[in-house]
Amino acid sequence: MSTDIIIDDLRHPILSDAQKAAQAWGNANPITFSEAAALEHARARTGLSDFGPDDFRERLNMLLDEWNADAGISNIHRHTLWSYVTRYAANRLLIQDILKKHPEIHDEVIERPIIVAGLPRSGTTHLVNILAADQRLRSLPLWESYEPLPLPGEAILPDGTDPRYQRCADAWAQLQATVPLLAAMHPMEPDHIHEELELMGPDFASYNFEWISVIPKWRDHYYATDQTPHYEYLKTALKVLQWVRGPKRWVLKCPQHMEQLPVLRTVFPDATVAITHRDPVAVIQSAVTMTGYCQRFYRNSVEPENLIAYWSDRIEHLLRACVRDRAVWPEAQSVDVFFHEFMADDMGTVERIEAKAGMPMTPAVRQQVDQFLEDHPRGKEGRVIYNLKRDFRVEPEELRKRFRFYFDAFPVKAEVK
């Protein structure tokens, strides 16, 4: 039985000793972002210098400028953001290097992937992890998404562990020490199947940066820019990973795809797409609670009103794009997954998706999935009790009115009262 978790200090956080210590360290070690320093750090880490096409620099500088101008970012979180951009820059060097050494990688074919799209906080993570238990499929664990290629000359650790895996495990341990309730909302263990948008990171693209920082200018640039080149970069990165090891049929997932369905169809035309749907009020409630909880560590103050305004708009943008573009994916290649049905019958949902993808369930696969579900019961880390009225001073029914267009388009059940 899962333990109920009530975050009763969301608006006025009471910091733990670990949080206070981390904040104190950050304050003693302030950091300023610059393109030159980030790229030099990546060169020193990898011993490489060819970043490939330079168009990424504009996007990198857009991020750095917005972060430098934001006095609300805590000094400790500035180090986290720095680790993101330097890791992405290093990964870009490594990807460029292996493509130059092995041009045959471009001949790899990403064939008939299964791609989960849908609102954040709508079951996409649970669904992709169940699908990834099917060993016929290639998936992207968190540790590999963070560092898709090893550093030159770096040896496996004496106990046989890949050092990339160990770095991811260490980062998760640090995160658990500073924002421990995150495990109940969005677990980040190294083996956890992650979003492939991490592979857009080396191209300094994707909406992922919106989850870790307040960057409205970046969002507006993303809105105004064709994302096809960045999806092509993602596809090339998948080819690299596929060339390194199989199997060769991928299962992927990312909520961003919900507002990029035409681009997804252009780049992955033979995919089977499963689109998850959930009450937007429940989605927003979950998203802003998780983000608000992390703000005690990521920002100098919690900003509940800004959070509810931003993510209400952001979810509406995702949903309006989905309603507009859903028909670009034909019935033969797509499945709509409704949250209430998925929660009632997750195995049946998986069977339906795999049947659509031409991969009928077998006894061996059923055993693999059953074992995963037994090892990863829902609520394993506790169940967060959300309170939109108390924490964000919003009436659920009032918020739901702005999403009438979505309820008119899909048979989604209202959850939050």
Closest by Cα among 124, 43, 145, 20 to 346: 124
Identify the band that residue 205 occupies on the pLDDT scale cut at 50, 70 and 90.
Answer: very high
Rounded average pLDDT over 187-210: 94
Residue 368: CB atoms within 10 Å: 17
As given in the structure block, the two tokens for residue 193 are: 């199947």
Strands 334-338 and 272-277: parallel
Closest by Cα among 98, 83, 96 to 41: 83
CA 231 vs. chain centroid, Å, equals 15
- Tens of pLDDT along 284-317? 999 999 999 999 999 999 999 999 999 999 999 9
3-state SS class at 247: coil
Rounded average pLDDT over 216-228: 97
Identify the band that residue 77 occupies on the pLDDT scale cut at 50, 70 and 90.
Answer: very high
Calpha distance 15→248 (Å, rounded):
46
Dihedral, CA of residue 254, residue 257, residue 258 and residue 263, to nearest 10: -170
Dihedral, CA of residue 154, residue 160, residue 165 and residue 168, to nearest 10: -100
Ramachandran sector of residue 252 (left: φ over 0; alpha: ψ -120 to 50; beta: rest): beta
3-state SS class at 394: coil
Rounded average pLDDT over 257-262: 98
Per CATH, the architecture of 4-152+191-409 is what? 3-Layer(aba) Sandwich (3.40)
3-state SS class at 274: strand
| C-alpha torsion sign, points 254, 255, 259, 262 | positive
Asked whether the predicted pLDDT for residue 84 surpasses 60, the reply is yes
Identify the band that residue 2 occupies on the pLDDT scale cut at 50, 70 and 90.
Answer: low
Rounded average pLDDT over 368-379: 87
Tell me the domain boundaries of the chain. Answer: 4-152+191-409
Rounded average pLDDT over 4-26: 94
pTM of the full predicted structure?
A: 0.96
- Tens of pLDDT along 144-165? 999 999 999 999 999 999 999 9
Q: DSSP per residue over 216-242, as a string?
A: HHHHHHHHHS--HHHHHHHHHHHHHHH
Closest by Cα among 335, 258, 294, 99 to 178: 294
Residue 98 makes CB contacts below 8 A (sequence gap 6+) with 105, 149, 240
Q: Residue 43: what pLDDT?
A: 98
Give yes or no for a contact between 46 and 152, defined as CB atoms under 8 angstroms apart. yes
Q: Residue 272: what pLDDT?
A: 98
Calpha distance 44→46 (Å, rounded):
6
Q: Residue 378: what pLDDT?
A: 77
